[in-house]
């Protein structure tokens, strides 16, 4: 699938998303908008579409980078404990800095997400059994341990209801003034593209990288920093969206190969398209009510993950 096909699909889905909601809004209304409709479009609908696109791009590219650096197709922020570590960081920020700003919470969440990702990568170095499916299982167990710690301290400090906002991804509460933090993902995506070739080389192993004069550790650290920051921003803004960073890079690799720099634009666009489709689906299934995006992506993503596991021989 070419970019010239993905871009119009993204535009069409974005326009469709603008007209879906409890308060009716039709394309013909665009020529004679009421004050209420103008407020709905600019305060709610447009911020929601922008946040969906940026979250989809950020998490998909994060998954692509992690899979390249770990040399495992089943590694992503969901299966490496990165999202769980970010949630723990948010809890710590709420406990220590009750009046912390979104940026301060992002910084704390980023530190914890980065530490959690580094610990997972260290676990990979210690594991001798390198079965493609075994690695994400270790990551899921590692993430479950962190999630349990988060839940324990949330109960201890009576913050479990506050933390529930970040347990499940949800775009329903996205309004103007509440999503702008996602714009941080734009320069991160640019950095990811600039370092794409280096990430590809680093993914071939430390010895190979050194033979080409590349500082392997520095490149890996840069990649994990990009992943941790993008994941933290998304989790803090819209919550946890499982499996997105896992399934989209795998779908792209099926038809476009594993060259990171070439597949990165495809991964970004397909990630945004996938999340838009899931969001639209969640809004129309039980209209006028809405299913949280975390639930919809979790269900669909889990089936795709099972399919990928079933055909794991392709990656061995």
Can you give the pLDDT at residue 272? Answer: 92
Do the Cβ atoms of 200 and 68 come closer than 8 Å?
yes
pLDDT band at residue 157 using 50, 70 and 90 as cut-offs: confident
Cα–Cα–Cα angle for 85, 88, 93, nearest 5°? 130
> For the domain with range 3-315, which CATH number is right: 1.10.3470.10, 3.40.720.10, 3.40.50.300, 2.60.40.790?
1.10.3470.10
Cα 236 to Cα 38, 85, 91, 106, 154, distances in angstroms? 28, 12, 11, 7, 16
Greater confidence, 144 or 28? 144
Residue 247 has pLDDT above 50, yes or no: yes
What are the domain boundaries of the chain? 3-315
Greater confidence, 30 or 220? 220
Cα torsion 21, 24, 29, 35 to 10°: value is -90
Do the Cβ atoms of 271 and 244 come closer than 8 Å?
yes
Do the Cβ atoms of 305 and 295 come closer than 8 Å?
no
Can you give the pLDDT at residue 315? Answer: 46
Output the average pLDDT for the chain: 82
Residue with tokens 């960081």: 89
Tell me: the pLDDT tens digits for 91-123?
Answer: 888 888 767 777 888 888 888 988 988 888 888
- Contacts for 99 with CB less than 8 Å, ≥ 6 apart: none
Residue 82 has pLDDT above 80, yes or no: yes
- Which H or E run contains 70? helix 46-70
End-to-end Cα, the chain, rounded Å: 25
Residue 182 has pLDDT above 60, yes or no: yes
The Cβ of residue 270 has, within 10 Å, a number of other Cβ atoms equal to 25
Can you give the pLDDT at residue 273? Answer: 93
Residue 313 has pLDDT above 70, yes or no: no
């Amino acid at each position: 699938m070419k970019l010239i096909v993905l871009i119009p699909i993204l535009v069409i889905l974005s326009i469709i998303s603008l007209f879906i909601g409890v308060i009716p809004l039709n394309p013909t209304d665009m020529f004679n908008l009421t004050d209420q409709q103008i407020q709905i479009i600019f305060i709610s609908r447009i911020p929601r579409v922008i946040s969906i696109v940026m979250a989809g791009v950020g998490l998909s590219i994060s998954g692509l980078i992690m899979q390249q650096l770990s040399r495992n197709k089943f590694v992503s922020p969901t299966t490496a404990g990165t999202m769980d570590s970010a949630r723990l960081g948010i809890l710590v920020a709420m406990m220590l800095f009750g009046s912390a700003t979104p940026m301060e919470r992002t910084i704390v969440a980023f530190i914890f997400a980065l530490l959690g990702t580094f610990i997972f990568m260290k676990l990979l170095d210690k594991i001798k059994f390198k079965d493609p499916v075994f690695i994400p299982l270790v990551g899921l167990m590692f993430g479950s341990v962190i999630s349990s710690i988060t839940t324990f301290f949330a109960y201890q400090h009576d913050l479990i209801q506050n933390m529930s906002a970040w347990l499940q991804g949800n775009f329903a509460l996205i309004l103007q003034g509440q999503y702008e933090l996602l714009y941080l993902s734009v320069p991160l995506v640019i950095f990811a593209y600039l370092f794409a070739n280096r990430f590809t080389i680093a993914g071939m192993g430390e010895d190979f990288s050194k033979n080409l004069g590349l500082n392997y550790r520095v490149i890996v650290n840069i990649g994990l920093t990009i992943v941790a920051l993008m994941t933290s921003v998304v989790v803090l803004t819209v919550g946890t969206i499982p499996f997105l960073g896992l399934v989209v890079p795998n779908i792209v690799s099926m038809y476009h190969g594993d060259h990171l720099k070439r597949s990165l634009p495809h991964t970004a666009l397909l990630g945004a398209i996938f999340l838009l489709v899931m969001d639209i689906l969640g809004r129309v299934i039980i209209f006028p009510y809405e299913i949280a995006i975390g639930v919809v992506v979790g269900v669909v993503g889990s089936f795709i993950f099972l399919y990928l596991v079933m055909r794991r021989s392709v990656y061995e």
